[in-house]
Structure 1
Amino acid sequence: MDLQVQKSQQYLNTTYDSETGFVALTEDGQTGWPTIFGILRALQIELGIASPSTNFGPATSAAFTSNFGTLTSSNTTTRVTALVQCAFWCKGYYGGPTFGTWTEDIDGGIRMIRAALGLSSEPSIPLKLMRSLLSMDAYTLLPGGTDFIRAGEQWLNGQYLERRDFDVLPADGLFTRSVQEGLMLALQYELGMADYDATTGTGATGSLGPKTSSLLQTQGNVAPGSIDSVRKFVSLFQIALAFNGYSVSVTGSFDSATGSAVRDFQSFMELPQTGIGDYQTWAALLVSTGDPNRPATGLDTNLPITQERALSLYNLGYRVAGRYLTVSGKAIVPGEIEILLDAGFSVAPIFQNYNNDASYFTKDVGADHGLQAAIRARQLGFKSDTIIFFAVDYDAFGDEILTIVADYFGGIKESLAKSRSNSFKIGVYGTRNVCQKLKEAGYADAIWVSGMSTGYSGNLGFKMPEDWMYNQIQEVGSLNIDRNVVSSRARPAKRENINPTPLTADSGFVPFYWAMVKEAVLAEGATLQDPVRVSIKDASENVLFGLQRGVYDTKTWLLYTPFPETVPGLPQDTAFALASARGGYFQVSTPASEVIGYEGDLAHMAATAQGVVIWGGAQGQSAVEVGDLGGWGLDFVQLWVNYKISGDGISIRDFVLKYLGASGTEAESMGFSQSDIIADADGWLVGTEIRNGAPIDDAVRKTFLERIHWPDRLAFFTSQRFGPTTRDTMITAISNIFTSPWPWTAVPREQFLNGQPNATSTEANEFAIAATDRLLALAARD
């Protein structure tokens, strides 16, 4: 608490409490807008304004000019003098011992304030200085400010305050919107532009428009050896460098320090390192787009990029394509990523579902968007550490950035973390201020600046974030793209960062693969409650358990594919964590009956895969192993049983050739139909990949990639399971199902025979030869 500020508050309340329009102040000794507004209302009352407000606008300015013009010791009133003293105390300057008495203390305070602002030292308060006093502008260096920026603010005040539209800048060393506007006005004045004329729409506006750009290109170049004369372009260029974070003094001479800073800035902004202040460098210093016509190698577009379009854009110099993950009509389409990679592009994935208003920014929405993004990025093949950029496509103000926008990104972060086996980085697309604050607060890993939004408050008075990757600078309607400057720090996804993904025969996405990606992310997310005790492999097994539910979860099956927490000797806390993760996943999982796009028996496939994951796949072996029993092994026993029941009058070979791998109701009843063969082959292949460390979605991807037709997967299964001498090994292995004396084969075989006689060795051999011939024929698409 400041005692003098409290005395000022008490004076204002005592003096003006009964006046219409005055709002009583809390007497807490705190300088802030309420106190400043109290002084302003009191001044408006003294000036005869009927309806005091919190705005020092045209009416207040006119009344001040009419009543005083300039405040001095001989041109004031007792009450106005007291208000000046209140303002002094709020600014941290001595206001004198007695309210209402203009003493040498006030004259001294005015001189100190004017000196701090870079103004001449006469003890007077003109209109613009009075307006500055009744603001929260600081006149001393503030935390985060620099002496170089403060020197620039002071120089601008001293040089241009007499111009009609140039207001007093703070002297706090901070680069802000008003400071940027002051620099732009100064530059326009040096370019010979008059004060703004609202009638004609011409003159200095404080923004970089076409007229200013044109004049700057012809008049503004500065280079080593340049010295200010009548025009002050070197000083303004040095100030612009200081405002952009460089330690450059205002000397008016283009010295070696200025040249070094220019080259550093040009390198940082991906400009040619000429070391001179040319138009492109000026523009980059002054506005978030820089020169929108400068070369750019990046683009973003909401339309799919065909092969023809990719080649055309590549020939125009583009190398990085920003494309949307979701939303029909603008999302990446099947085959597009491969087209881009083949054409020489890398890809920057973007997620935006509206996100163009504050109402879209909540933690729940962020969590939903993060989950959508994680699932779709994995479906499209983007590998770990790929940066996904999430859009803040509106002008978020400072107080919103670390509240609602941060909440939104917090939700994204939580949901992306669910993708444990394929972790993604968070990028933010937005204004300079949005990007910088979210990056500093740990909500984002990468920055894509919406530089085209030059009028957004978040791009005014903020330097370019130090680790920006992309800067969107220009819309090209004829190409339906936005042009983006790409920083050397950018990390777009290249071919080595993107897995190829399976496509259907007509080049569409594979629904079953996409479904398994979704289930993998959900299952991995359920392990986050204890990621130390519950592994990614456990998550993949949970997906298989989920798909088995209702069909392959009887007591018998759970002896064959037991829940992991039932393993003897497992610590209780580990068992609890495993069971909890599976239970959490089951609450959000998709039942096998609702998964679309799979040709086989999905529950059967999951049970087969689970058996391989737990017991192994016996790759290349001629003997039947435990991991075979949940798939093809006992399916052959079922087919044999149905032969014994229904095969009177038909040979073993004819029965096998007729029903093995056939489709239709009758074939399904025989125990080894086409859907079972597909499930057995896929289950073995997927289970082998999971057992070797692949998450379930990647196991499916590898299984289906370039083998979208099930006979191709069956052929791959037979070659992998039975080795190079496939036919001979298959015959031996299938026969072994019926002849093996080992308990792990004999006991379940007896259960599946269900009272029917087992095949003799001769029958087993005949059965195995026929089954082998049939499977190999199906695999060859005969």
Structure 2
Amino acid sequence: MADEMVRRAQRFINTKYNSGATLGISKLDENGQTSWTVMYALTRALQYELGITSLSNSFGPGTLSAIASKYGKLDETTIPSADFCRIIQSALYCKGYDGGDIDGIYSARVKAAVVKLNQDMGVEVTYPGSVLWPKVVKGLFNMDAYVTVSGGSATIRSIQQWLNGRYILRKDFYAIPCDGHHSRDVAKSMLFAIQYELGMADGVANGVFGPGTQNGLKSHTVATGDSGTWVQLFSAGMVLNQRPVSFTSTFTSTLASAVSAFQSFAKLPVTGTGNFSTWASLLVSYGDQSRKGEACDGVTKITTERAATLKAEGITYIGRYLTNPTGGVPYEKEIQEGELATIAANGLRCFPIYQTYGRDASDFSYVAGRTAGQAAVNAALNHGFKTGTRIFFAVDFDALQEDVVSSVLPHFKGIQDAMTDDGNRYQVGVYGPRNVCTRVAEAGHSTASFVSDMSSGFSGNFGYPLPPDWAYDQIVTRTVGSGAGAIEIDVNIASGRDTGQGSFNPPRVIKPDVLLDPSVTTAMLTDVGKYMESIGFPNNGGVRKWQHWKCFAVTVTDHDALITQLSNRYKMRKALIETSAYWEMRHVDAIDESADLAVIAAYETTGEFKDTSTGICQIFGVTAIRAWNHAIQMDYTTGEMRDPTNAAHLYAAWRKCRDDDQYALSTVPLIHLWNADGAPGSGNNETKLRTMRLDYTESEIYEVLRRYQGTNSEAKEHAKKRMALYQVMEKYNSISRHL
């Protein structure tokens, strides 16, 4: 909602500073709305008036020092100019306070606003009256709120104000928001407060939970009957972790009871006292890293010797990865042959983790979730995990709130939909920072959380409580054992919510594909249709030429014998052939038909061949010739070599792809083989993949599917969507070859 005084502040910046050019910024949009853009402009204006030559969006030490050294404090006696005052007045309005008439006068209205600002910050005792001290000015020039907003807690706000009031004079402590919400800044301020109370000097206290802080806390256990600042800090930690207590300076029996409940929840020894382990769990996500956990996860194969090491460490539950998407380092990331049998034989249990990349928001989407869900199901079946197993899907990056909303939640909706279409044989778990786990669970997309608390600096961990549904809490990396039993693990605390699996079905060995079993084709037709509808392709075809059932019949069931034969001949999964052919046929539309007719007309009237993609598999004439020539040269197949520069040869190949469905389908695997070998002659500079094989990794499958379509951004986006389709196709081919 527009505010006229904010609009006037924006107009002042634009008018005074040459539409922002003087400040090194663009002209402000005079929309009457506060934003970081406006605050950055005001910060730069303040720096300009302070005589700082290198302007910045950041209100850093230089700006703070300039105010302190030039003026000490700001009021009607020290503000150097009317424009300087107008900047202060504008900032007050952008912060929600009455800045007067933006007239350059430090008036009674401005003074009253400053008094209120100091009160809201909680620093009115330290900074009484209507004077603006440098740290308050710093707090004025940002987007922090000093009043409760968006359902904030009055108790948390009182803690924020108390911290500001008590520690604002310390060198490295700056005013934190007083908005009633826990946050990264609030969590760090708590660490500063602990360090100050431990007696650390300015410059030594750093807001980091290091050895000095930890050692100091070990001698500051608080218990029933205690009172004072340490109890206040401890009760603040309880409140910030969403425990139902008051912010108090007295350790009552009520607080002790709440502490016992928290300790039980976090799987700490239940003492009802504020001991070191409890302090640690309240202050940092990983808590007391000296703890031993009943669970671990890692990227190293569990051998008999390593199993003995883990048992000696008190570990029962082992997290292992269902796939290694690249097949590269670490080579043992994926569950290895015979490993689950070793785990079971030693009385241990395994919980599976699925992760492809997951290092950036761009790796997460609804389509990627559909792919992950079905890929994880296929991999879990291959390894022998039984129905009811919970698979933890990884979000292994510092997902900001906007990333969670725009990328992570749709991703897990995709996973959930894939699992539902599979019959819910496996449960969905989420691995990630606290906020990610909580949000995914609240959206109903997961049943338990594996919390990456070891990544304490993640914004989704700093300032967020342990999720209510946590199953595993990852706290530290540790090497245990020696000799053949040595193994590096991530130590996890186990809540008991998930217990993995202690027995397994026989793993599915790698087999060549066979004819689709008649019992699966109806379900396969349904699942492929469901997936395509989920990404905007109605089963009735919509604007496309072919309906779903027709495409499925032509590219899957009607030519199943041919596709099976091709698969076995080239040591290629049937799903690679089916996916490319089905996808292309589903995309044929009236424009493609018109393009075909234009090619025919041009060739028949002038002899000129103008290539375009054609037929059910949408193959270019030149692509068909290059793929066939390459296959003949490599002894993949036999046939007649053709000249890719000869119009008659091109047209003949193009017509075969257009008019002969069997020829088109036979060309698809040859294109895949050609692309895997680097697509020689295409000019695309594709890297060579491993020789085609039945156990291609996920990254290799993606590359084969992507290269079929090309190198542009559309090819890459379509390949992501085809990965999910591939996994559905592979599911039913896998069932057929293992019946």
Query: Please, what TM-score do these two structures have when normalized by structure 2?
Result: 0.68
Deviations 1:508-546 (A, max 9, x none): x522499899999997454136789xxxxxxxxxxxxxx
Letter in 1 for 2:51: G
Task: Choose 463-472 or 430-439, whichever is displaced more.
Answer: 430-439
SS in 2 for 1:477: strand
SS in 2 for 1:252: coil
Contact 2:90 2:102 in 1 (8 A): no
The answer as to 2:339 corresponding to 1:336 is yes
Instruction: Indicate the residue corresponding to 2:218 in structure 1.
Output: 217
Contact 1:379 1:514 in 2 (8 A): no
Q: Is there any run of 5+ residues in structure 2 with no aligned partner, and where? A: 481-486, 532-546, 575-731
Instruction: Indicate the residue corresponding to 1:241 in structure 2.
Output: 238
Instruction: Indicate the residue corresponding to 2:122 in structure 1.
Output: 118
Instruction: Indicate the residue corresponding to 1:14 in structure 2.
Output: 15
The answer as to 2:268 corresponding to 1:271 is yes
Which residues in structure 2 correspond to 1:421-500 (within 5 Å)? 421=423, 423-478=425-480, 479-495=487-503, 498=504, 500=505
Cα distance in 2 for partners of 1:153, 1:338 equals 53
The answer as to 2:67 corresponding to 1:64 is yes
Instruction: Indicate the residue corresponding to 2:94 in structure 1.
Output: 90
Letter in 2 for 1:103: S
Cα distance in 2 for partners of 1:322, 1:159 equals 45
Cα distance in 1 for partners of 2:520, 2:95 equals 56
Cα distance in 2 for partners of 1:167, 1:524 equals 61
Instruction: Indicate the residue corresponding to 1:376 in structure 2.
Output: 379
Q: 1:81 aligns with which of 79, 85, 98?
A: 85
SS in 1 for 2:274: coil
Which residues in structure 2 correspond to 1:525-544 (within 5 Å)? 526-528=525-527
Instruction: Indicate the residue corresponding to 1:205 in structure 2.
Output: 206
Q: 1:501 aligns with which of 506, 522, 539?
A: 506
Contact 1:375 1:521 in 2 (8 A): no
Pair 518,54 (structure 1): closer, same or farther in 2 beyond 3 Å: farther
Deviations 1:285-337 (A, max 9, x none): 01111101113100112122123322331232111110111125222223322
The answer as to 2:31 corresponding to 1:28 is yes
Contact 2:234 2:274 in 1 (8 A): yes
1:349 shift after superposition: 0.3
The answer as to 2:309 corresponding to 1:306 is no
Q: 2:51 aligns with which of 45, 48, 51?
A: 48
Contact 2:513 2:568 in 1 (8 A): no
SS in 2 for 1:125: coil
Cα distance in 1 for partners of 2:283, 2:515 equals 50
Pair 34,696 (structure 1): closer, same or farther in 2 beyond 3 Å: closer
Q: 2:352 aligns with which of 349, 352, 371?
A: 349
Query: Please, what TM-score do these two structures have when normalized by structure 1?
Result: 0.64
Task: Choose 128-137 or 450-459, whichever is displaced more.
Answer: 450-459
Instruction: Indicate the residue corresponding to 1:286 in structure 2.
Output: 283
Instruction: Indicate the residue corresponding to 2:4 in structure 1.
Output: 3
Which residues in structure 2 correspond to 1:408-419 (within 5 Å)? 408-418=411-421
Cα distance in 1 for partners of 2:194, 2:515 equals 60
Cα distance in 1 for partners of 2:285, 2:430 equals 16
Pair 381,578 (structure 1): closer, same or farther in 2 beyond 3 Å: farther
1:384 shift after superposition: 3.6
Q: 2:321 aligns with which of 305, 314, 324?
A: 324
Cα distance in 2 for partners of 1:252, 1:326 equals 52
Cα distance in 1 for partners of 2:9, 2:517 equals 64
Contact 2:297 2:320 in 1 (8 A): yes
Instruction: Indicate the residue corresponding to 2:145 in structure 1.
Output: 138
Equivalenced residues, count: 544
Cα distance in 2 for partners of 1:114, 1:192 equals 27
The answer as to 2:257 corresponding to 1:260 is yes
Letter in 1 for 2:496: S
Instruction: Indicate the residue corresponding to 2:159 in structure 1.
Output: 152
Instruction: Indicate the residue corresponding to 2:704 in structure 1.
Output: none
Pair 517,259 (structure 1): closer, same or farther in 2 beyond 3 Å: farther
SS in 2 for 1:273: coil
Contact 2:434 2:460 in 1 (8 A): yes
1:397 shift after superposition: 2.7
Deviations 1:251-292 (A, max 9, x none): 211113321221221122111221100000000001111101
Instruction: Indicate the residue corresponding to 2:202 in structure 1.
Output: 195
Cα distance in 2 for partners of 1:522, 1:96 equals 75
Cα distance in 2 for partners of 1:113, 1:312 equals 59
Pair 514,471 (structure 1): closer, same or farther in 2 beyond 3 Å: farther
Letter in 1 for 2:475: I
1:131 shift after superposition: 0.6
Q: Is there any run of 5+ residues in structure 1 with no aligned partner, and where? A: 197-202, 503-508, 533-575, 603-694, 704-782
Cα distance in 1 for partners of 2:283, 2:453 equals 12
Cα distance in 2 for partners of 1:110, 1:501 equals 72
Pair 71,370 (structure 1): closer, same or farther in 2 beyond 3 Å: same
Cα distance in 2 for partners of 1:91, 1:518 equals 68
Letter in 2 for 1:250: F
Cα distance in 1 for partners of 2:261, 2:69 equals 50
Letter in 2 for 1:239: A
Deviations 1:133-168 (A, max 9, x none): 000000111224212211110110111111000000
Contact 1:379 1:517 in 2 (8 A): no
1:423 shift after superposition: 3.2
Cα distance in 2 for partners of 1:522, 1:145 equals 54
Cα distance in 1 for partners of 2:136, 2:558 equals 66
Pair 359,215 (structure 1): closer, same or farther in 2 beyond 3 Å: same
Cα distance in 2 for partners of 1:518, 1:264 equals 55
Deviations 1:30-84 (A, max 9, x none): 1111111121121112111223221111221222112221112222132222222
Contact 2:514 2:564 in 1 (8 A): no
Instruction: Indicate the residue corresponding to 1:109 in structure 2.
Output: 113
Letter in 2 for 1:46: E
Deviations 1:600-639 (A, max 9, x none): xx9xxxxxxxxxxxxxxxxxxxxxxxxxxxxxxxxxxxxx
1:442 shift after superposition: 4.4
Structure ranking higher on relative contact order (CA contacts 8 Å, 6+ apart): 2
Instruction: Indicate the residue corresponding to 2:509 in structure 1.
Output: 510
Contact 2:427 2:447 in 1 (8 A): yes
Letter in 1 for 2:113: G
SS in 2 for 1:110: helix
Contact 2:389 2:500 in 1 (8 A): yes
Deviations 1:749-781 (A, max 9, x none): xxxxxxxxxxxxxxxxxxxxxxxxxxxxxxxxx
Q: 2:404 aligns with which of 393, 401, 405?
A: 401
Contact 2:388 2:426 in 1 (8 A): yes
Contact 1:324 1:330 in 2 (8 A): yes
Contact 1:526 1:584 in 2 (8 A): no
Letter in 1 for 2:262: F
Cα distance in 2 for partners of 1:171, 1:341 equals 53
Is the radius of gyration larger for structure 1 or structure 2? 1
Letter in 1 for 2:6: V
Pair 371,102 (structure 1): closer, same or farther in 2 beyond 3 Å: same
